[in-house]
Amino acid sequence: MQLQLPEPSADALRASRALHTVIANDIRRNSGWISFSRYMELALYEPELGYYSGGAAKLGKDGDFTTAPEITSLFGATLAHAVAELLPRIAPHLLEFGAGTGKLAFDLLTELAVMGIPVHRYAIVELSGELRARQQQLLKGFSQVVWLDHFPAAFTGVVIGNEVLDAMPAHLVVKTEHGWRERGIGLSARNFVFREHPCDAALIEQIPQADALPIGYLTEVHPVAAGFMHSLAAMLCAGFDETGQGSAAILIDYGFPAHEYYLDQRDHGTLMCHYRHHAHDDPFFLPGLQDITAHVDFTAMARAALDGGLDLLGYLSQASFLLEAGLGDLLLRTSPEDGRAYLPQANAVQKLTSPAEMGELFKVLIVGTQLRLPERFERNDRSHRL
């Protein structure tokens, strides 16, 4: 079926065609087949051409999708209150991965300043040149913000990752009559096509009860994101070894624990593309101009963190986390009697917390070293469901 989506500009179309050529050449160099993970890596991160490496706007009304910090400043302010309870017990440092427009950092730092909580350093690891430029403009009033190109070797403090894991390249696997196969990318005369390839057994080990799933079952597995969690663990453990101070990483994303991720009825996987606020499922549409994501397997992420030496501190729905962190009280800073100011904020809170919107689909995974969350977060903790 032909997708009816907005037309790109001539420059954007040229960039997409150039990336198409880069990917096609990579397929040819690899005997006519690359994994979907490799395709996703090139489509999102190829220097100057990939979605997160090029110059097109990604977020907000002019971009392709909207994240929680773009919806309301209350998201970052609420997260600041959770962070404020941790920072005095550890180092006054923050590290954010994939900071988007910088809006979350801006709201976090603004609220922490109002609360009188010092932040000596706020480091941002950002791969997108376009987003880094936007962040630098928005955050120019905060002298403690610095930008990094890669993981620090060691870190102590609080790590933030909002919608980071879902953008990491995922592998596609499908169960056939002859066993599991990896679904990758080949070339037809004019375009990319899906082609199956022998599957590494290590990919299937992530899927619980893989043998019981029906023939034709298609899903994603996430070794790249698990590798990120291992690197995160190494960084935080090294920080503890150097300083003796604990740390926490707060990762917010959409996804499920493994027993829900690999349900029989989720037999077409969770892969989704976003282009100009249109969601669809064709990853070959205008490579480099659209986002490609997959939901997060939080069981696999928690397991990778534990294997790396971290503690599992909490796993909550976004709604539970935000409400326990004080979102309701922050909303009431705006008087309900001032309808013009209050109603947009109340609608944003509804979107962030409603089970029918972001409240249930989005989860908060918190891992760390030598630290415990405030007791109230334990009331709705779902760690036992991982």
Mean pLDDT, to the nearest integer, of 236-249? 97
* Band of residue 7 on the pLDDT scale cut at 50, 70, 90: confident
Q: Supply the pTM of this predicted model.
A: 0.95
Evaluate if residue 297 carries a pLDDT over 50.
yes
Is 1 part of a structural domain of the chain?
no
Average pLDDT, the chain: 94
Is 115 part of a structural domain of the chain?
yes
- Could you report the per-residue pLDDT of 349-371, keeping only the tens digit for each? 999 999 999 999 999 999 999 99
Exposed/middle/buried for 1, CB within 10 Å: 0-12, 13-18, 19+?
exposed
Is 12 part of a structural domain of the chain?
no
Is 8 part of a structural domain of the chain?
no
Is 71 part of a structural domain of the chain?
yes
Mean pLDDT, to the nearest integer, of 240-250? 97
Stretch among 51-55, 107-111, 190-194, 318-322 having the lowest mean pLDDT = 51-55
Is 7 part of a structural domain of the chain?
no
Is 36 part of a structural domain of the chain?
yes
The residue range of the domain holding 357 is 20-385
Percent of the chain with pLDDT over 70: 96
| pLDDT on residue 53 | 85
Evaluate if residue 16 carries a pLDDT over 80.
yes
Evaluate if residue 55 carries a pLDDT over 80.
no
Residue 92 maps to which CATH number?
A: 3.40.50.12710
Is 54 part of a structural domain of the chain?
yes
Token couple for 365: 């995974």
Per the structure, the count of domains in the chain is 1
